[in-house]
Amino acid sequence: MGKKITDLELKSKIKEALKEIKEKQLKEKRIGCGGGLVCVVTLSAISYHARFPVNGKYTTRLIGSNKMSLANAFKKAIELKEECQKENIRTGNYPLFKKFWNDFRCEYDKTISRDRIFNVNSFYNTILHFFDDFRINEITPPLVCSITDKINTSQNNKRNAIASLKQALDYAVNYGYLPANQLNAIMKLPQFKKVKTDGYKFVTADKLKDCFFSLLSREPKTARVFYLLLALTACRKTEIRLLEWDWIDFSSNKSKYGVITVPKETTKTKAIDHVIPMTTTIRQLLLNWKEESLIDNELSKYVFANASGDKPIYERYFDTPVTRYTSQYIVLHGLRKSYRTFISEHMKEQGFNETEIELVLNHVPFNKSVVNLTYDKYEYTKEQYAVLEYWNDYLVKNCLTEEYLCLFSN
| Buried b or exposed e, range 214-246, using 16+ CB within 10 angstroms | bbbbebeebbbbbbbbbbbbbbbbebbbbbbee
pLDDT per position as a tens digit, 92-135: 678 899 999 998 898 888 888 777 888 888 899 999 999 999 99
Report yes or no on 1 lying in a domain.
no
What is the residue range of 28's domain?
7-90
Mean pLDDT over the full length of the chain:
89
Does 103 lie in the same domain as 78? no
How sure is the predictor about 271, in pLDDT bands with cuts at 50, 70 and 90?
confident
Report yes or no on 197 lying in a domain.
no
Nearest to 229 by CA among 279, 263, 161, 160: 279
Report yes or no on 303 lying in a domain.
yes
Does 305 lie in the same domain as 260? yes
DSSP letters, 295-330, are BTTB--SBTTB-TTSSSBPPHHHHHHHHHHHTTTT-
pLDDT at 198 over 80: no
Does 364 lie in the same domain as 239? yes
Predicted pLDDT of residue 278: 97
Does 214 lie in the same domain as 358? yes
The answer to whether residues 211 and 325 touch, using CB atoms and an 8 Å cutoff, is: no
Does 251 lie in the same domain as 393? yes
Domain boundary among 71, 90, 109: 90
Does 397 lie in the same domain as 300? yes
The answer to whether residues 231 and 393 touch, using CB atoms and an 8 Å cutoff, is: no
Does 188 lie in the same domain as 117? yes
Report the number of distinct structural domains present in the chain: 3
Nearest to 406 by CA among 283, 263, 225: 225
Does 285 lie in the same domain as 212? yes
Predicted pLDDT of residue 92: 62
Cβ burial of 397 (10 Å; 0-12, 13-18, 19+) is: exposed
Does 386 lie in the same domain as 339? yes
Report yes or no on 199 lying in a domain.
no
Does 124 lie in the same domain as 235? no
Domain boundary among 192, 223, 251: 192
Report yes or no on 14 lying in a domain.
yes
Rounded Cα–Cα distance for residues 379 and 256 (Å): 14
Report yes or no on 145 lying in a domain.
yes
Predicted pLDDT of residue 375: 65
Report yes or no on 200 lying in a domain.
no
CATH number, domain containing residue 186: 1.10.150
Rounded Cα–Cα distance for residues 138 and 102 (Å): 18
CATH number, domain containing residue 382: 1.10.443.10
Would you tell me how many other CB atoms lie within 10 Å of the CB of residue 87?
Answer: 11
pLDDT per position as a tens digit, 36-76: 899 999 998 999 998 887 776 778 888 988 889 999 999 99
Does 236 lie in the same domain as 375? yes
Domain boundary among 192, 223, 238: 192
Does 353 lie in the same domain as 233? yes
